[in-house]
Chains A and B, each alone.
Chain A
């Protein structure tokens, strides 16, 4: 029977490579969304639109990696929105519309953002303050400092090279799509295949066991949150390049989606489970969902109801209990 085949495929995948199941399901969900929209509007899902979706997903793709690391440790990073904005504001303020300063401004910006992450890590690992409060407080303080120093918006444009990066094409393929693919490979390897990544999984699954085994918990935690802030800063750089300048609230719309992308991708909020492939699939799914919802042309109320409903559906379809019922 035709309908049994996808079921059998899912089952065999679940048995042999269970960690690939959530990303596959979620990406399948994204494809399903696009296909269902094509019924309504045949021009939906054209290569140009898919390209547009992929280009605009890069910010979420990069920032969600950092959130994924925090959640992998059983924590959360609520400062991502603020750090993104700070990254964008810094690179814009340092480059001031010309490429001269870009070479040192970009690393300086990223370093500064990573420092905010170190603050998060220190608060969580050394002061033992819950990640929710630490990242919230550090984010609030950072926002306050940045607001006082800049009054809220950049006074210049960002370096033209950065703008070119976000709008240019390499043999017809937009640079952001290429960067997304490279980042996908890099991040999957770093999280899943390197020794440090495996240590993070161990720490997230069982802090007690990690302590017994002698893992350097404090430095791992600090490193994870530093990388999270680094990614947020990098995403902010890209966003500044995309929109040519920066404001201090430009990162805010991205915080909740990073959390949603990570958990839709199959990560456990208690830590220890989840792969970047899942986060990536979650980010793509959310971008596609946003495009579909826009295309439906409904009032904002209905858009939110549908968005919430589909997120719940995505979670239900990948939950263990649902899959066990389907068998």
Chain B
């Protein structure tokens, strides 16, 4: 019957595909990188950093490293994590799509002895290790910084991140709390830039047209686009702005010509290097080189003002340099993909291509800093510190009369 014979042909083809020769593998630990979002600068840089580190000696001989991209659907990530656990993973570093939906599969992994690490985005399952700066109070610190720069008075445009994420909820709550304390500060327009520079540029240019006297812009990402909108529509008077650490943005902050037009900015936000850092912590734990007493690790919040920008001469962040010349890196390149303190092995080429710099070897990490609690973000039955809405890196100015 034609039907069964066609099915047999199909099965034969698939069988041939399946029967690949298996090489004898040394006993290397299986380590996986599980990505979800892909196709944007941040995610690409973070993944490349991790891949470069995994290929750097001595890690390259100690682990069998693979990357799995799950896409943006949470059940697919659950399915892939189950596959990785079943395949004998010893450690998995992932970008979780939800702080809570993956808890069950993460627990399954922990129960099998797999090290479950997350970077930047967190999960609330207690056995997982979260490496992030979501607890570093970005919202409060940057909002207070803007208020200080404006002397407590001015018009602000508020650029939200993606709605419905815990990071947006946390940062927005902190920033609004700070802005509300100063009656002279008015938020004249807010939009959801979705961490996207093109969207941010479009929206800011529309709001600017209706509110030509805007003094400041608060962003988490999409900063460069937001600033571009002002530079193209009101080039004679720039703004006070807080946001990401794109190379073009840092170069503008340091440019005296821009500063003369009123540009003052803070370059901060989540950096892709958190991925590489989380990977190194995971590897040190896997290779028993360190012990961790808590599960939530805080990656330091980048904090660079115009006066702090220092152009690098080489390919990596050495000697405290934190930006590249215009010819070396594109404007949207996120400088915080590199980290001179924690990730000296990474170079510009490494985070752009995923291949390690020749001659690099893994350097030991400084002691980790543990993170405070944020219920619903990195822990379940816990309480956040009483002052979690207050800045801890910027001293507030008094409210002007």
Q: Do A and B come from one complex?
A: yes
**Residues of A participating in the B interface, judged by any CB pair closer than 8 Å:** 41, 43-44, 46, 48-49, 51-53, 55-56, 85, 97, 143, 147, 151-157, 167, 239, 242-245, 247-250, 253, 291, 294-295, 297, 299-301, 303
Does A250 lie within 8 Å of B198, measured CB to CB?
yes
Q: Is B331's CB within 8 Å of the partner chain A? A: yes
Which secondary structure dominates chain B's binding surface?
Answer: helix
**Given A55-B205, A147-B39, A300-B163, A155–B352 Cβ distance below 8 Å?**
yes
B217 cross-chain contacts in A, Cβ below 8 A:
none
Query: B202 and A56: CB pair below 8 A?
Result: yes
Q: Are A152 and B330 in contact (CB under 8 A)?
A: no
A205 to B39, CA, bound (A): 38
A300 touches B164 (CB 8 A): yes
Nearest CB of chain B from residue A61's CB, rounded to whole Å: 13
The smallest beta-carbon distance between B195 and chain A, in angstroms, is 10
B206 proximity list for chain A (CB < 8 A): 49, 52-53, 56, 291, 294
Chosen A-B contacts, 25 in total, with CB atoms closer than 8 Å, are A43-B211, A46-B209, A46-B210, A48-B209, A48-B210, A51-B209, A52-B206, A52-B209, A143-B39, A147-B39, A151-B352, A151-B354, A154-B330, A154-B332, A244-B248, A244-B331, A245-B330, A247-B41, A247-B332, A250-B196, A253-B196, A294-B189, A294-B207, A300-B164, A301-B163
Which residues of chain A are near B41, meaning CB under 8 Å? 152-153, 247
Identify A239's interface contact among B198, B208, B232, CB under 8 A: B198
Write out the residue numbers on chain B whose beta carbons fall within 8 Å of the beta carbon of A294: 189-191, 203, 206-207
CA distance A145 to B162 in the complex (A): 27
Q: Is the CB of A244 within 8 A of B228?
A: yes
Chain B residue nearest to A43 (CB atoms) is B210
What is the minimal beta-carbon distance from B25 to any residue of chain A, in angstroms? 25
Smallest CB-CB separation from A57: which chain B residue? B202
**B side interface size, CB within 8 A:** 46
Q: Is A157 touching B196 in the complex (CB atoms < 8 A)?
A: no
Q: Which of B43-51, B255-263, B371-379 is the contact stretch?
A: B43-51
Contact A44 B210 (CB under 8 A): yes
For B41, the closest partner residue in chain A by CB is A153
Interchain nearest-CB distance for A60 vs B (Å): 10
Contact between chains at B48 and A151 (CB < 8 Å) = yes
A1-B48 Cα distance, complex, nearest whole Å: 69
Known interface pairs A49-B210, A154-B330, A295-B210; A248-B228 also in contact (CB < 8 Å): no
Question: Given A245-B330, A294-B203, is A152 in contact with B44 using a C-beta cutoff of 8 Å?
Answer: yes
User: Which residue of A43, A56, A152, A153 contacts B205 across the interface (Cβ within 8 Å)?
Assistant: A56
Q: Which residues of A contact B330 (CB under 8 A)?
A: 97, 154-157, 245
Say yes or no: B40 contacts A242, CB within 8 Å: no
One digit per residue, 1 when the CB lies within 8 angstroms of any chain A CB and 0 when it does not, for chain B 223-267 equals 001001000110000000000000010000000000000000000
* Complex Cα–Cα for A272 and B225 (A): 40
B137 within 8 A of A: no
Contact B47–A151 (Cβ < 8 Å): yes
**Which residues of chain A come closer than 8 Å to B280, judged between CB atoms?**
none
Contacts of A301 in B (CB 8 A): 163
> Which A residues are in CB contact (< 8 Å) with B83?
none
Could you tell me the distance in whole angstroms from the C-beta of A281 to the nearest C-beta in chain B?
19
* Contacting residue for A245 out of B47, B164, B332, CB 8 A: B332
Q: Lowest 6 CB-CB distances: which A-B pairs, in order?
A: A248-B39, A300-B163, A49-B209, A152-B44, A153-B41, A48-B209
Contacts of A155 in B (CB 8 A): 330, 333, 352
User: Shortest Cβ distance from A198 into chain B, in angstroms?
Assistant: 36
| Chain A residues with CB below 8 A from B333, complex form | 155
Are the C-beta atoms of B332 and A153 separated by less than 8 Å?
yes
Q: How far is the CA of A56 from the CA of B200 in the complex (A)?
A: 11
In the bound complex, residues from chain B placing their C-beta under 8 Å from that of A247 are 39-41, 332
